[in-house]
């Protein structure tokens, strides 16, 4: 199970990094979302993996999973929504303002004609 979680983290990171290196805003945003998943799962996994022992106190139960990473990741998930929303808004504003959704100031090599700079 450990290898599955670790490989999931690795694959999410790889996919996130690849998309983040694209030239348009939308794939970059998706890439950052993938990276967010990877980081959240990574942080969560720092409490090690436990099956069937949620940190809800019950009489007679002595084994619980580590609650602290969960609390930290919970707020991280909510905050990352806020940050995604801000980035999307900035990307949208830039696109609506210039009709151009490139993330770079100067694309290397590509000869770009900004369409809507009217």
Partner 1 sequence: MSLLIIVALPFLGALLPGLMNSAGRAACAGVTFTVSLAAFIGLLTNLPTVLAGDVVMARVDWMPALGLNFTLMLDSLGFFFALLILGIGLLIIAYARHYLSRDDNMGEFFTYLLLFQGAMVGIVLSDNILLLLVFWELTSLSSFLLIGFWKHLPEGRQGARMALVTTGMGGLSMIAGMLILGQIVGSYDLSVILQNRDLIQADPLYLTALILILLGCFTKSAQFPFHFWLPHAMAAPTPVSAYLHSATMVKAGIFLMARMWPVLSGTPEWFVIVTTAGLVTMVLGAVIALFKHDLKALLAFSTVSHLGLITMLLGTGTAFGAMAAVFHILNHATFKAALFMSAGIIDHETHTRDIRRLGGLRHLMPVTFVIATLAALSMAGIPLLNGFLSKEMMLEEANHTVLFDVPWLVPALATFGALFSAAYCFRLIWHVFLGPVRDDYPAKPHDPPAGLWMPPATLVLLVVVIGVAPFLAEPFVKLITASVLGDAAEIPAAHFKIWHGLVPALFMSIIAVVGGLVMMAVFNPALRLWDAAPRPEAKAIFDAITDATASLARKLILPIHDGAFTRYAAIGSVAIFAVGYHAWSTGSIGFPTRTPQPASPVFIGGWAMLVAATAGLVLMHRNRFLSLILIGIVGLMVSIGFVFLSAPDLAMTQFTVEVVTIILLLLALNFLPNHTPIESTVLRRVRDAGIAILGGLATFALAHHYLLREAVSTPISEFHLANSYKGGGGNNVVNVILVDFRGFDTYGEIIVLGIAALLIYALTETLLDGPVRARLLNRKPDQARAGDTHPMMMVVLTRVLLPLVLMVGFYIFLRGHNEPGGGFIAGLIVSIGVVMQYMASGFSWTSARLKYPYHGVIGAGVLTAGLTGIGSWFVGKPFLTSDFTYVRIPPFEKFELATAAMFDLGVFLAVVGAVMLSLESFSRLARRAHTPDSEHAMDIDPSRVRPAPDSAVFTRGDV
Give whichever of 57 and 60 is closer to partner 1, judged by the CB atom: 57
Shortest distance, position 100 Cβ to partner 1, whole Å: 10
Distances (CA, A) of 45 to 80, 88, 96: 18, 28, 40
Give whichever of 93 and 114 is closer to partner 1, judged by the CB atom: 93
Shortest distance, position 78 Cβ to partner 1, whole Å: 6
Residue 35 main-chain phi, psi, to 5 deg: -60, -40
**On the CB side of 11, how many CA atoms lie within 13 Å of its CA?**
6
Shortest distance, position 60 Cβ to partner 1, whole Å: 13
Give whichever of 68 and 114 is closer to partner 1, judged by the CB atom: 68
Q: How far apart are CA 95 and CA 64, in angstroms?
A: 49
Give whichever of 77 and 114 is closer to partner 1, judged by the CB atom: 77
Contact in structure between 5 and 45 (CB atoms under 8 Å):
yes
Shortest distance, position 43 Cβ to partner 1, whole Å: 10
Quick one: tokens of 8?
A: 């999931």
């Amino acid at each position: 199970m450990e290898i599955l979680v670790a490989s999931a983290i690795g694959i999410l990171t790889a996919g996130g990094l690849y998309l983040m290196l694209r030239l348009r805003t939308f794939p970059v945003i998706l890439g950052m979302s993938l990276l967010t998943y990877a980081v959240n799962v990574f942080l969560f996994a720092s409490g090690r993996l436990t099956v069937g022992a949620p940190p809800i106190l019950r009489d007679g139960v002595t084994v619980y999973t580590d609650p602290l990473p969960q609390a930290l990741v919970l707020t991280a998930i909510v905050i990352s929504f806020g940050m995604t929303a801000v980035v999307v808004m900035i990307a949208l504003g830039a696109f609506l303002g210039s009709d151009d959704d490139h993330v770079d100031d100067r694309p290397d090599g590509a000869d770009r004609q900004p369409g809507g700079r009217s």
